[in-house]
Amino acid sequence: MLCKRLIACLDVRDGKLAKSVKFVDTQDIGDPVVKAREYYEDGLDELVFYDITASSDKRNIMLGVVEAVAEQVFIPLSVGGGVRSVSDATDLRLAGAEKINVNSAAVVRPELISECAKAIGTQSTVLSMDLSRVAESRDFPSGYEVVINGGRKRMGIDGLQWALQGEILGAGELVINSIDADGTREGYELHLTRMIAEAVSIPVIASGGAGEPSHLVDVLNEGRADAALVASMVHFGDYTVSGLKQQLHDAGVPMRLRY
């Protein structure tokens, strides 16, 4: 059985580590470079870095911060925020990112996914999706709508259909982020994660809502996710990376442990 992955998410605003609840009330909480090094040394499997205002501000991602983080960690580094072209993706790869996350720009121009996959490889092209719960209807049969620009703009696109399209276009992984659960620490949206994981054949990363170890166990088992993304529960010191991985292992979830 393949090991599951524990991924820490660094949301960065103006070069500082930030955290919000349901994409609002964002607060600066520290230095992303320091946290990246701490998590890496504690056995983290992968790190995700998001410049959370690059798209809404219509600017490119801060390459200097990416380079600083990449110099401190020697695990896969996935970076997103403001990626609008192959040139942007290439710049991030040169700055030290192993994987590139596309989100808002890909919703507006889906061929961006194919262009990036062709240029840097499917394995390095990640489609990150921000989804909001809506009433099931003919337009939204899954009950989830795609939103962009940090949750500021609804796109009228069904969440499951966008996931399936992303896979066809060449995404090698999907990050499924529930805006309704984001930052609440009340648990992942298991129905959402499982629905998409069962519909696609590429790895699915669950995001939004982690608050305690049982939430990770639930989403990696019942939710069928290949990886669980955490933020608040490690950023605020309630849990450590190594402690979480040990608890997951003890609960029967296959994890890579350091002995």
Distance CA 192, CA 176 (A): 8
Read off the DSSP letter of residue 131. E
Which residue is catalytic, options 45, 51, 88, 130? 130
Element housing 243 (H / E):
helix 241-250
Owner of token pair 């911060």: 65
Which residue is catalytic, options 11, 45, 51, 158? 11
Distance CA 52, CA 49 (A): 9
State how beta strands 99-102 and 77-80 pair: parallel
Distance CA 131, CA 144 (A): 6
130 given a catalytic annotation? yes
User: Are the CB atoms for 111 and 159 separated by under 8 Å?
Assistant: no
Strand runs labelled E in the chain:
5-13, 16-21, 24-30, 46-51, 77-80, 99-102, 125-133, 144-148, 153-158, 173-178, 204-207, 227-230
Distance CA 90, CA 204 (A): 24
45 given a catalytic annotation? no
User: Are the CB atoms for 82 and 63 separated by under 8 Å?
Assistant: no
Catalytic residues: 11, 130
